[in-house]
Amino acid sequence: MTPLHRSPYLIPLGIMFVLGVALLSGRDRRVDTSGRPVVVYAHPPCPPELMALYRPIWDRFKETHPDIRFEVLHVTGNYEDKIKVMFAGNVAPDVIFMYPAALPAWVDLGALHPLDTLLERHPQVSRTDYFPAMLETFSYEGKCYGLPKDASVAIMQYNVEMFRRCGVPFPSPDWTWKEMVEAAQTLTRDTDGDGRADQWGINPFNWWVFVWQNGGEILDQTKNRCVLKEPQALEALEFWAALRWKYEVTPTPEATADLGNMQLFALGKVGMHFEMYPVVSIFRKQCDFEWDLAHMPTGPSGKASEAVGSALAVTCQSANKEAAFEFVRWMTSPEGMKGLVSVESPSCVRLARSPVFLEGAGPPASKQVAVEAMEYAHLPLQHPRYAEIMDALYPELEKAQRGVLSVKEALNRAVPQVNAILERD
């Protein structure tokens, strides 16, 4: 375990002081003047319109839990670095927000309190309340460290009008890699007659999803060796790279550098985009055409997509873990999440399968796709050195995607770097 005071992520002590002062009113004692346990939740950066959804939810928690003094610390800027600084200064909040990729590093720092015992003895919550894949996503080395707040996997958003205009059948629930490429080829067009495509079939999605759909993995079961050179992974990566350099159905690097994948879809320049469910709140505002959700394509080994979403966790420094867990439990329950169904796919099964979510106003029409996709959610890569591993892989695989290197050559360069990282860990 890495001691907090040695963490390479620490930022200047001046920021730690400012954050510490911000928490002093709730963290210099275990209870307030009325004897109530104090619970401070550190909320990550989010736009004003999303904060407007959260505030009445937090007010409702305060109303229904008068025996808890609940406070929100809205952290702006680099959330994870600032929270780590607070841990180092022993002024950590009681509850933090986290994404899956950060979980192993938090555990490695000894920052989180396992929730298993609290889950077992709390009468108002059960593991069966949540999608199993989401609970597994926020578990590590056999222990649960966070209750999932939203259940999200990467799913497809597609331009219904473009499909219709180009005579392309809408994606079926069991469509294949081959059908995806064929659709993308038909959608990719030179609309202004300058000899270059300016409308593309598909935005590329994460290469590891293709690897899983073909039966491969990034690391072996021991997490001591990178296995991307194994046949299943290699074949999948070759297909992923070919979407750009062979089939030419994805936007050029120049196009994505200017606008980015999401904006290209929102402008009607790309027919298929892949993103977690909360992107709907952006596309509702930016897309002036009809769009909807569809399932991921089926690979040779079946369907797969990355479980993402977010979770709330109780910190090891919390002086009131029971009260902190009550907020985490309530916030991820139907009562806590019902105010967010317009922008998030709930992790609580009962709410996700209810008309409150499925029949909510506004696009997409096929909201049930987000729920059905949980059946093929794949556990994301979990490793304390996740960022280093990806930093070693990305540059070489990007060259393969551009056709500068073959996938084999790219892996021959990248895999030894990953293995060196794993050996060091």
pLDDT at 252 (0 to 100): 85
How many Å apart are CA 58 and CA 172, to the nearest integer?
Answer: 40
Cis bond before residue 364 (omega within 30° of 0)? yes
Which CB contacts under 8 angstroms, 24+ apart, belong to 279-286? 279/157, 280/157, 280/343, 280/362, 280/363, 280/364, 281/50, 281/342, 281/343, 283/157, 283/363, 284/362, 284/363
Three-class secondary structure of residue 315 per DSSP: strand
Report the amino acid identity of residue 250: T
The 10s digit of each residue's pLDDT in 278-329 is: 999 999 999 999 999 999 999 999 999 999 999 999 999 999 999 999 999 9
pLDDT at 27 (0 to 100): 47
How many Å apart are CA 160 and CA 348, to the nearest integer?
Answer: 30
What are the CA-CA distances from residue 57 to residues 52, 220, 312, 335, 337 (Å)? 9, 42, 15, 9, 8
How many Å apart are CA 189 and CA 114, to the nearest integer?
Answer: 52
Residue 9 banded pLDDT, cuts 50, 70, 90? very low
- What DSSP designation does 412 have? H
- Identify whether the C-beta of residue 289 lies closer than 8 Å to the C-beta of residue 268: yes
Report whether pLDDT(161) > 90.
yes
Which CB contacts under 8 angstroms, 24+ apart, belong to 355-362? 362/280, 362/284
pLDDT at 29 (0 to 100): 56
- Identify whether the C-beta of residue 296 lies closer than 8 Å to the C-beta of residue 209: yes
Residue 204 banded pLDDT, cuts 50, 70, 90? confident
Q: Which one, of 374, 315, 333, lies nearest residue 153 by Cα?
A: 374
How many Å apart are CA 82 and CA 115, to the nearest integer?
Answer: 23
Say what the pTM is: 0.90
**φ, ψ of residue 228 in degrees (nearest 5):** -70, -15
Instruction: Quickly count helices (H) and strands (E) in the chain.
Output: 20, 13
- Identify whether the C-beta of residue 326 lies closer than 8 Å to the C-beta of residue 105: no
Cβ atoms < 10 Å from Cβ of 238: 16
- What DSSP designation does 184 have? H
pLDDT at 259 (0 to 100): 86
In the chain, the domains with their CATH numbers are: 4-152+308-378 (3.40.190.10), 155-306+383-424 (3.40.190.10)
- Identify whether the C-beta of residue 378 lies closer than 8 Å to the C-beta of residue 307: yes
The 10s digit of each residue's pLDDT in 330-354 is: 999 999 999 999 999 999 999 999 9
To the nearest 10 degrees (0 to 180), the angle between helices 231-245 and 386-401 is 50
What are the CA-CA distances from residue 314 to residues 107, 143, 325 (Å)? 12, 13, 6
pLDDT at 10 (0 to 100): 45
β strands within 219-309, DSSP E: 270-275, 291-294, 305-306
Residue 271 half-sphere exposure toward CB, CA atoms < 13 A: 29
How many Å apart are CA 188 and CA 284, to the nearest integer?
Answer: 24
